[in-house]
Amino acid sequence: MEGILFFFILFLAALLIFIKHIKWWIKLFVALYYGILIYFFSKGYKKIQDDYELYRSKNEYNPNDPADVKALENYWDPLADYAGNFEVFFHLPVLILLTFSYYKWIKNGKNKTQRILIVLSLIPVSLIYLWIAILIGMLGYQP
């Protein structure tokens, strides 16, 4: 989980550093928002994992034992719900920030070539963001 959140933070930090038309206090607000969000998400995610690990340390997993299967379901269902509930809070502000930024960049482009290059830069940014969104969504994936 830490690796996924690291890539998300790196992506967000790059956005905040390289976007010049957003005021510093908005950047500070976004950084604080994500700092608090990641703190609470990590804390809850870790608690769900720790509860399951506590059960696993006391009981050897047996797929034929209904109690073990129930414990596994009681781990994955809350984990999937928890990650799913936080996913909107991770993605919506970044999408708003990206949409606003690209609108400003395209609008303030000096000529047609620059505007085309800005639109083309949307492809790698979208692919990287899609990859990060899939990884964050997979934090709650139930096998």
Q: What does the pLDDT look like over 87-102, one tens digit per residue?
A: 888 888 888 888 888 8
Average pLDDT over residues 58-67: 77
Q: What is the pLDDT of residue 29?
A: 87
Contact 41, 136 (CB under 8 A): no
Mean pLDDT over each residue of the chain, to the nearest integer = 82
Does the pLDDT of residue 137 top 70, yes or no? yes
Of 8-22, 41-55, 114-128, which gets the smallest average pLDDT?
Answer: 8-22
Q: State the total domains in the chain.
A: 1
- Rounded Cα distance between 136 and 89, Å, is 11
Residue partners of 141: CB distance under 8 A and separation at least 6: 80
Determine the structural domain holding residue 80 and report its residue range. 2-140
Average pLDDT over residues 9-28: 80
User: Which ranges of the chain would DSSP assign to H, the alpha helix?
Assistant: 2-18, 24-58, 66-107, 112-137
Q: Which residue has the higher pLDDT, 96 or 3?
A: 96
Q: Report the phi/psi class of residue 5: left, alpha or beta, with left for phi > 0 and alpha for psi in -120 to 50.
A: alpha
Q: Report the phi/psi class of residue 97: left, alpha or beta, with left for phi > 0 and alpha for psi in -120 to 50.
A: alpha
pLDDT band at residue 111, thresholds of 50, 70 and 90?
very high
Dihedrals phi, psi of 72, to nearest 5 degrees: -65, -40
- Rounded Cα distance between 84 and 80, Å, is 6
| High-pLDDT (> 70) share of the chain, % | 93
Q: What is the pLDDT of residue 1?
A: 57
- Rounded Cα distance between 102 and 121, Å, is 10
Q: What is the pLDDT of residue 116?
A: 93
- Rounded Cα distance between 12 and 17, Å, is 9
Model pTM score: 0.71
